[in-house]
Amino acid sequence: MKIVAGCDVGSLTSKAVIMKDGKIIGSSIIKSKPRPKDSADAALEAALKNSGILKDDIAYIIGTGYGRDKIGFVDEVVSEITCHGIGARWLLPTVETVIDIGGMDNKAISVQDGIPGTFTMGGICAGASGRFLEMTAKRLGVDITELGPLALRGMGREVPMNSYCIVFGTQSLVNALAAGSSPEDVAAAACHSVAEQVFEQQLQEVDIKEPVIMVGGTSLIQGLVKAMGDLLQVEVVVPHHSQYIGAVGSALLASGFIKGS
């Protein structure tokens, strides 16, 4: 089978994967740049370097994500919902529900045999998104990768916080810290608040069935995954390569566009 690639340009991060025979041979995840085109170029360049192949070796490339229409090198662009559905089945073949809490919007998708069924996409405010968690980490003086373990050590329900609005959510953060709440409790409260907003605003519209997976960059924040599992009262699975779901789905779709492959 020929080599294919997928590129997912998101608001916070951009991802690229290069696949051959249904396996990832190169990948990258970078912080998104002001211009989506620059983000895509940098992500693909890093994935190529990681794989040890040349761009000319790639037979077909599909782009997705909010910045997909600005990617200059792709052969085609496809919606995030479609790519997530395809990618989800590769990540976990038995998957039934996909939850992606992104930097700009959130997605909840029911999946059957890799085909998206009912879904919701959006979010009323950035307070119910990865941006609020990024802001929380900054306020606590820790890297976003440290927020998850910190939250697991805290008691979130002991700290009043409502991230329905990112302005009020930030005020809650400041007030909680000033009142003497521990960083662990504040981190746990922030994770619970984001999960609760997504649960109330979007997950009521999707028939939640197990297995449930969380994907995207925020799926690596363990405190958020735990909070979502507690609210749904199910085990939430974070599969390997979860942050690459859109790019993986794009690459898998790309393989179907190659004649004779």
pLDDT number for residue 122: 74
pTM over 0.85, yes/no: yes
C-alpha distance from residue 211 to each of 93, 96, 132, 139 (Å): 10, 5, 27, 34
SS3 assignment, position 26: strand
CA-based Rg of the chain, rounded to a whole angstrom? 18
pLDDT number for residue 178: 92
pLDDT number for residue 217: 92
* Long-range Cβ contact pairs of 131-134 (< 8 A, separation 24 or more): 131/12, 131/103, 131/104, 131/166, 132/163, 132/166, 132/169, 132/190, 132/193, 132/194, 133/190, 133/191, 133/194, 133/218, 133/221, 133/224, 134/12, 134/103
Splitting the chain (261 residues) into consecutive groups of 10 residues, what average pLDDT does each group show? Answer: 93 95 96 96 98 96 95 95 94 96 89 85 72 91 95 86 74 89 94 91 91 96 96 97 97 80 40
pLDDT number for residue 260: 43
pLDDT number for residue 261: 40
